[in-house]
């Protein structure tokens, strides 16, 4: 929404206006602390009770040359007094710490939006680095916006005049001056950030206090001067009663895996190799050793998955976490798990590709890779998380499928939800699924490839159990005995058996639910992280008077039992995907249904309006008929 | 977990019901027999053994042992074994691999497993050829070797497996020969008793694709003339009548004829526990292993030193933190910053 320029005024004070929804983008150099600034604003707003959604956007380089466009790091956060689904299409407020940050982000800013710039950085040298021919603060190029020029660096140094810190350390506090100003502008309390600083820098209190001082200086600057004519507030959202926290997707995934470990009684083993944007799962799980979690930073992606398979063989919950390039390397290991029928969860936090591609950008173009990127007939269940908080439930469901069906399972997430945050209503532990597992113990009549009648799972007989000594491996197995077998009929039988086992998962997954009319002209069907944009677009289309239905897939292999019926009930099915139509290909092949793909492969998530426009366009075509 | 007290086990207890499918005359039969004889002597219940292998002729080994076994994928056995040992320290984990499996496709996993000192035993059957894929040269094949993939002779310089292991920081490095049964059994037993990664190279004859590769060492005269049987604390003497020895000049080894005023006292006394691995490296380097050079082939234990194992380090950390930081799942899920929305829609910081 556009921020109003007038509000209720008390004598001598800035006018105050309440807004229902605001999008703020913090942008600066990679070293300016923009991710941290944005995260602090997010956490404080969460504690106030706003609904929120975030979109970090940072370069692959750790410190690209200062002041250049490739070095710009940004963090967008949307806060609202109502239920929201995306981090917002266009910022209302842009904080630009230097000319490059202004240049890289200006085109996204809403008309009449607020720009706060650090004038100290608008030197001829920095302007040239950013590719400006004239100073945008002095020409007319920013006339369409509300520009606030603040000497952030100068003010920071002045606030810290009495501090013992060196100039460089002082200058590093300037993001907190900007944060203090934004806190004032949106009527947020400083206490949560002050508390955080004092814990974070408990061993370096001089750093904590310098940041506190600078943040307060930013706040006071706004409060005392008339820099801003209007001050805003965003009231708490009317969320369902309960206890909430703000959570990132990778964090929800890590916690979900620990929860699954506890609920199954299986110690968690994570084999991983550092890769963007999956490394945070390794980092977070490495801090949960007190939950019996073993994390193993292997020599490569292959060793990471192989060690996880070894851990599963030994009776642990084996997990490996990576992104597309790493999943490519793990393919042979995943296939081994298919053949030896051991539980294993492989998380693919997708990023832009192919090859090294766009490491820090988001995409959902690994769907066909995880479905088919292994030699031969290699059925693997696939499940996709749709939001940061949903990563928690998805982890539990992946573990359930893996252990109940003795199979590797692939969990898809992506950079957008991995690094994005939203409020999460914290579940009661007792509400979580019971995932208890019984290892096979009885030696009488034991055969390693005998099967459960319902699930077709083979027994999990772990080393150390007397009388169950047996051998498994990648060579084709004889049914029941598990002995190596090359006979044609047996192979045909086993290929079909492995496929049937995965297909049977359909028996205990929920049917696909359709939001809106259960049949009609248009269904917008999504999977994974497009949930927010699709939901926002469909809700808006309905508010605008259009009739449109919506559904979102969680399980992708196997598909929910009723999916074919659902598709048949609609004249047109639109699938927005951050790829060139991968789910659409699966749907066409499976259901012979004409699916309309809406592709976007820019390394950025869909905006709500992009999908809304497509829905409007399709509605318009329908009217013309 | 239920485990039985170690009963008296025999060789037969370790023979599986599977038909052994190596070529008749393959050196692997002798190694299998030796392992089946050594395992019952270790005092470990049968269900505690896990044998992990990769791909290749040698990697069929687990199928023939009546223990837990895992025939994995090419080169990856050390990685799978590491995952098993880290999570199940109660198990006795053995890796069986070959020169192609361990040193070519799986080189990375081998060196990192040895570097970490994971408490697994690695038996590398070195026959200097790819057998299962029918006769291509391997990373240990000698220069000039003619194979299907090198019809004009290999120009590919070979590895010395012992030096790879020593260079990777292995805490136990030894070598034996498929047909030297008592020696092989003694080396296997030493490996089994070592705490940490134990690397054993077993010279193994492939009678189909690389027959008699080690004949100069294994034939009747070669055993004594060309084998240097290392013994900790004993001087380096060898030869038919112990008539030769190895002296260390300070930079190199040299062969000396004993007698004529020279005795075992002039030879270097072998120290497998030497802290610096350089001497073991140099010892491994005196011969390519086939008995054809000027120097004998070192056999037995080249290096055996004590060092903390990776798996124990990992487990100790988990045990320590589990005691020091008790936390419930509920606490983990809640984290540190929460807010509560009450039935009236009011928001306050913290949990209920």
Kindly identify which residue of chain B lies nearest to residue A335, measuring between CA atoms.
B73
Helix, strand or coil, per DSSP, at residue A499 = helix
Contact call for B73 and A333, based on CB within 8 A: yes
Q: Quick count: other Cβ atoms within 10 Å of Cβ B220?
A: 7
Chain A residues touching B327 at Cβ < 8 A: 290-291
Segment (H or E) for A447: none
* pLDDT score recorded for residue B35: 98
At B155-171, the pLDDT tens digits run 999 999 999 999 999 99
For residues B239-249, give the mean pLDDT: 94
pLDDT at position B1 over 70: no
CA distances from A189 to A80, A155, A180, B339 (A): 16, 21, 9, 14
> How many separate helices (H) and strands (E) can be counted in chain B?
11, 13
- Strands (E) in chain B, as ranges, are 49-53, 68-71, 92-98, 121-126, 172-177, 198-203, 227-229, 237-238, 244-248, 253-257, 297-304, 339-341, 347-349
Residue numbers of the domain that contains B196: 11-310
Taking the mean position of all CA atoms in its chain, how far away is CA A268?
Answer: 22
Same CATH topology for A15-233 and A245-431: the answer is no
Considering only residues 140 to 169 of chain B, which have any Cβ-Cβ distance to chain A shorter than 8 Å?
Answer: none
Give the residue from A353, A354, A345, A352 showing the smallest Cα distance to A395. A345
Cα angle A258-A261-A263, degrees, rounded to a multiple of 5 = 110
Contact call for B67 and A474, based on CB within 8 A: no
Q: Answer yes or no: are the C-beta atoms of A210 and A176 closer than 8 Å.
A: no
At A535-551, the pLDDT tens digits run 999 999 999 999 999 99
Taking the mean position of all CA atoms in its chain, how far away is CA A220?
Answer: 36
CATH number belonging to domain A245-431: 3.40.50.970
Q: What are phi and psi of A621, to 5 degrees?
A: -60, -40
Does the domain formed by A15-233 have CATH 3.30.110.40?
no
Considering only residues 92 to 111 of chain B, which have any Cβ-Cβ distance to chain A shorter than 8 Å?
Answer: 108-109
| Confidence bin at A239 (pLDDT 50/70/90) | confident
Q: Quick count: other Cβ atoms within 10 Å of Cβ A539?
A: 18
Query: Domain tally for chain B?
Result: 2
| Confidence bin at B347 (pLDDT 50/70/90) | confident
Give the residue from B233, B170, B177 showing the smallest Cα distance to B201. B177
Q: What would the DSSP string read from start to end of A186-228?
A: TT--SHHHHHHHHHHTTT-HHHHHHHHHHHHHHHHHHHHS-S-
pLDDT above 70 as % of chain A = 98
Question: How near does any CA of chain B get to the CA of A81, in Å?
Answer: 12
CATH number belonging to domain A520-624: 3.40.50.920
Chain B residues touching A266 at Cβ < 8 A: none
| Confidence bin at B255 (pLDDT 50/70/90) | very high
At B306-345, the pLDDT tens digits run 999 999 999 999 999 999 998 999 999 999 889 999 998 8
Same domain, B146 and B289: yes
* pLDDT score recorded for residue A7: 67
* pLDDT score recorded for residue A624: 73
CA distances from A86 to A21, A70, A551, A606 (A): 12, 25, 17, 9
Same domain, B85 and B163: yes
At A433-485, the pLDDT tens digits run 999 999 999 999 999 999 999 999 999 999 999 999 999 999 999 999 999 99
* pLDDT score recorded for residue A62: 78
Total residue length of chain A: 625
pLDDT at position A3 over 90: no
* pLDDT score recorded for residue B351: 78
At A151-160, the pLDDT tens digits run 999 999 999 9
Question: Is B2 inside any structural domain?
Answer: no
Same domain, B15 and B164: yes
pLDDT at position A522 over 70: yes
Contact call for A464 and B90, based on CB within 8 A: yes
- Tokens 């290929």 correspond to A495
| Confidence bin at B3 (pLDDT 50/70/90) | low
At B116-129, the pLDDT tens digits run 999 999 999 999 99
Question: Is B1 inside any structural domain?
Answer: no
Chain B residues touching A475 at Cβ < 8 A: 71
Taking the mean position of all CA atoms in its chain, how far away is CA A314?
Answer: 32
Question: How near does any CA of chain A get to the CA of B102, in Å?
Answer: 13
At A58-84, the pLDDT tens digits run 887 877 788 899 999 999 999 999 999
Same domain, B68 and B24: yes
Give the residue from A205, A185, A203, A182 showing the smallest Cα distance to A194. A205
Question: How near does any CA of chain B get to the CA of A191, in Å?
Answer: 12
* pLDDT score recorded for residue B5: 57
Contact call for B80 and A471, based on CB within 8 A: no
pLDDT at position A378 over 80: yes
Question: How near does any CA of chain B get to the CA of A465, in Å?
Answer: 6
* pLDDT score recorded for residue A58: 82
d(Cα A159, Cα A464) in Å, to the nearest integer? Answer: 66
Question: Is B200 inside any structural domain?
Answer: yes
Chain B residues touching A336 at Cβ < 8 A: 72-73
Question: How near does any CA of chain B get to the CA of A142, in Å?
Answer: 39
Contact call for B345 and A238, based on CB within 8 A: yes
Segment (H or E) for A570: strand A570-577
| Confidence bin at B346 (pLDDT 50/70/90) | confident
Residue A398 makes CB contacts below 8 A (sequence gap 6+) with: A260, A345, A347, A381, A383, A409, A410, A411
Same domain, B339 and B305: no
Question: Is B6 inside any structural domain?
Answer: no
Same domain, B159 and B262: yes
Question: Whole-model pTM?
Answer: 0.94
Contact call for A239 and B341, based on CB within 8 A: yes
How many contacts does A have with B, using Cβ atoms within 8 A?
221
* pLDDT score recorded for residue B336: 86
Contact call for A290 and B347, based on CB within 8 A: no
Question: How near does any CA of chain A get to the CA of B60, in Å?
Answer: 10
Considering only residues 13 to 32 of chain B, which have any Cβ-Cβ distance to chain A shorter than 8 Å?
Answer: 16, 18
Chain B residues touching A429 at Cβ < 8 A: 328-330, 333
Q: Answer yes or no: are the C-beta atoms of A362 and A578 closer than 8 Å.
A: yes
- Tokens read off for A623: 């009217």
Domain boundaries, chain A: 15-233, 245-431, 520-624
* pLDDT score recorded for residue A8: 67
Closest by Cβ to A311, choosing from B16, B83, B328: B83
Same domain, B201 and B317: no
| Alpha helix (H) residue ranges in A406-481 | 415-419
d(Cα B30, Cα B24) in Å, to the nearest integer? Answer: 11
Kindly identify which residue of chain A lies nearest to residue B81, measuring between CA atoms.
A310
Q: What are phi and psi of B299, to 5 degrees?
A: -130, 155
Residue A259 makes CB contacts below 8 A (sequence gap 6+) with: A392, A395, A396, A429, A432, B329, B332, B333
At B174-213, the pLDDT tens digits run 999 999 999 999 999 999 999 999 999 999 999 999 999 9
Question: Is B322 inside any structural domain?
Answer: yes
Chain B residues touching A474 at Cβ < 8 A: 55, 71-73
Q: Answer yes or no: are the C-beta atoms of A342 and A318 closer than 8 Å.
A: yes
* pLDDT score recorded for residue B337: 86
CA distances from A398 to A347, B21, B26 (A): 9, 39, 45
| Confidence bin at B352 (pLDDT 50/70/90) | low
d(Cα A242, Cα B345) in Å, to the nearest integer? Answer: 10
Contact call for A298 and B84, based on CB within 8 A: no
Same domain, B343 and B291: no
Kindly identify which residue of chain B lies nearest to residue A430, measuring between CA atoms.
B330
Same domain, B164 and B239: yes
pLDDT at position A4 over 90: no
According to DSSP, residue B342 is labeled -
* pLDDT score recorded for residue A1: 58
Same domain, B267 and B305: yes
Cα angle B335-B336-B342, degrees, rounded to a multiple of 5 = 85
**Residue B141 maps to which CATH number?**
3.40.50.970
Question: Is B115 inside any structural domain?
Answer: yes
- Tokens 């590919």 correspond to B156
Contact call for B83 and A429, based on CB within 8 A: no
Helix, strand or coil, per DSSP, at residue A434 = coil
């Amino acid at each position: 929404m556009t921020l109003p320029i007038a509000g209720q005024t008390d004598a001598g004070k800035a006018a105050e206006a309440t807004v229902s929804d605001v999008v703020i983008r913090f942008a600066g150099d990679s070293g300016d602390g923009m991710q941290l600034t944005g995260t602090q604003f997010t956490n404080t707003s969460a504690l106030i009770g706003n609904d929120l959604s975030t979109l970090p956007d940072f370069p692959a380089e750790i410190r690209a040359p200062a002041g250049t466009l490739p070095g710009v790091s940004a963090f967008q956060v949307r806060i609202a007094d109502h239920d929201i689904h995306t981090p917002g299409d266009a910022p209302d407020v842009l904080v630009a710490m230097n000319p490059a940050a202004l240049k890289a982000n200006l085109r996204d800013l809403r008309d009449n939006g607020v720009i706060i710039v650090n004038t100290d950085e608008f030197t001829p040298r920095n302007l040239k680095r950013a590719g400006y021919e004239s100073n945008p603060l002095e020409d007319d190029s920013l006339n369409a916006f509300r520009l606030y020029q603040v000497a952030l660096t100068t003010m920071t140094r002045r606030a810290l005049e009495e501090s013992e810190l060196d100039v460089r350390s002082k200058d590093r506090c300037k993001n907190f001056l900007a944060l203090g100003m934004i806190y004032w502008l949106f009527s947020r309390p400083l206490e949560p950030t002050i508390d955080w600083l004092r814990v974070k820098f408990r061993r370096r209190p001089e750093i904590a206090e310098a940041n506190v001082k600078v943040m307060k200086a930013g706040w006071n600057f706004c409060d005392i001067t008339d820099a801003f004519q209007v001050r805003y507030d965003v009231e708490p959202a009317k969320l369902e009663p309960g206890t909430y926290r703000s959570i990132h997707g990778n964090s929800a995934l890590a916690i979900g895996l620990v929860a699954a470990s506890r609920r199954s009684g299986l110690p968690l083993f994570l084999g991983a190799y550092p890769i963007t944007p999956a490394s945070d799962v390794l980092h977070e799980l490495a801090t949960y050793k007190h939950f019996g979690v073993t994390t193993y930073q292997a020599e490569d992606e292959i060793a990471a998955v192989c060690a996880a398979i070894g851990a599963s063989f030994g009776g642990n919950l084996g997990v490996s976490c990576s992104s597309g390039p790493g999943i490519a390397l793990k393919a042979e290991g995943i296939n081994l798990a298919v053949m030896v029928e051991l539980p294993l969860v492989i998380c693919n936090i997708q990023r832009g590709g192919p090859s090294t591609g766009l490491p820090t950008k988001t995409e959902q173009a690994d769907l066909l890779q995880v479905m088919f990127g292994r030699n031969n007939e290699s059925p693997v269940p696939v499940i996709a998380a749709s939001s940061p908080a949903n990563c928690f439930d998805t982890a539990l469901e992946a573990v359930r499928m893996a252990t109940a069906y003795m199979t590797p399972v692939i969990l898809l997430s992506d950079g957008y939800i991995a690094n994005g945050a939203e409020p999460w209503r914290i579940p009661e532990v007792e509400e979580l699924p019971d995932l208890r597992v019984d290892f096979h113990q009885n030696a009488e009549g034991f055969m390693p490839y005998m099967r459960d009648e319902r699930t077709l799972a083979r027994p999990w007989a772990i080393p150390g159990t007397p009388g169950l000594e047996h051998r498994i491996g990648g060579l084709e197995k004889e049914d029941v005995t598990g002995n190596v077998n090359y006979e044609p009929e047996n192979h045909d039988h086993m290929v079909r058996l492995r496929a049937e086992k995965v297909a049977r998962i359909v028996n205990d997954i929920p049917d696909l639910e359709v939001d809106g009319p259960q049949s009609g002209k248009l269904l917008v069907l999504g999977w994974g992280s497009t949930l927010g944009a699709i939901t926002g677009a469909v809700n808006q289309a309905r508010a605008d008077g259009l009739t449109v239905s919506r559904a979102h897939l969680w399980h992708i292999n196997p598909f929910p039992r009723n999916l074919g019926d659902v598709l048949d009930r609609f004249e047109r099915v639109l699938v927005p995907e951050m790829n060139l139509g991968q789910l659409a290909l699966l749907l066409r092949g499976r259901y012979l249904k004409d699916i309309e793909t809406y592709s976007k492969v820019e390394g950025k998530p869909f905006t709500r309006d992009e999908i809304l426009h497509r829905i409007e366009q399709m509605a318009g075509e329908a009217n013309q008929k | 977990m239920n485990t039985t007290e170690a009963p008296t086990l025999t060789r037969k207890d370790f023979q599986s019901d599977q038909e052994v499918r190596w070529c008749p005359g393959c050196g692997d039969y002798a190694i299998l027999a030796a392992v089946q004889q050594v395992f019952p002597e270790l005092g470990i219940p049968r269900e505690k053994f896990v044998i992990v292998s990769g791909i290749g002729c040698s990697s069929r080994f687990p199928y023939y042992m009546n223990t837990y076994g895992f025939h994995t994928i090419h080169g990856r056995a050390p990685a799978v074994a590491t995952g098993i040992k880290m999570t199940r320290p109660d198990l006795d984990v053995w890796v069986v691999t070959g020169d192609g499996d361990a040193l070519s496709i799986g080189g990375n996993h081998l060196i990192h497993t040895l570097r970490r000192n994971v408490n697994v035993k690695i038996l590398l059957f070195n026959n200097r050829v790819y057998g299962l894929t029918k006769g291509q040269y391997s990373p240990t094949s000698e220069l000039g070797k003619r194979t299907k993939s090198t019809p004009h002779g290999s120009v590919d310089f070979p590895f010395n497996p012992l030096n790879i292991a020593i260079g990777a920081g292995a805490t136990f490095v030894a070598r034996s020969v498929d047909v030297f049964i008592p020696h092989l059994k003694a080396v296997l037993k030493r490996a089994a008793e070592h705490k940490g990664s134990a690397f054993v190279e077993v010279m193994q004859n492939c009678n189909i694709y690389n027959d008699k590769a080690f004949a100069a060492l294994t034939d009747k005269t070669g055993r004594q003339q060309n084998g240097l049987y290392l013994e900790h604390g004993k001087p380096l003497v060898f030869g038919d009548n112990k008539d030769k020895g190895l002296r260390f000049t300070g930079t190199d080894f040299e062969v000396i004829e004993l007698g004529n005023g020279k005795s075992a006292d002039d030879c270097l006394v072998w120290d497998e526990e030497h802290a610096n691995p350089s001497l073991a490296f140099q010892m491994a380097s005196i011969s390519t292993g086939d008995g054809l050079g000027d120097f004998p082939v070192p056999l037995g234990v080249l290096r055996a030193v004590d060092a903390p194992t990776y798996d124990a380090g990992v487990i100790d950390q988990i045990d320590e933190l589990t005691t020091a930081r008790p936390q419930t799942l509920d606490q983990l899920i809640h984290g540190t910053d929460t807010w509560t929305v009450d039935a009236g829609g009011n928001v306050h910081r913290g949990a209920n």
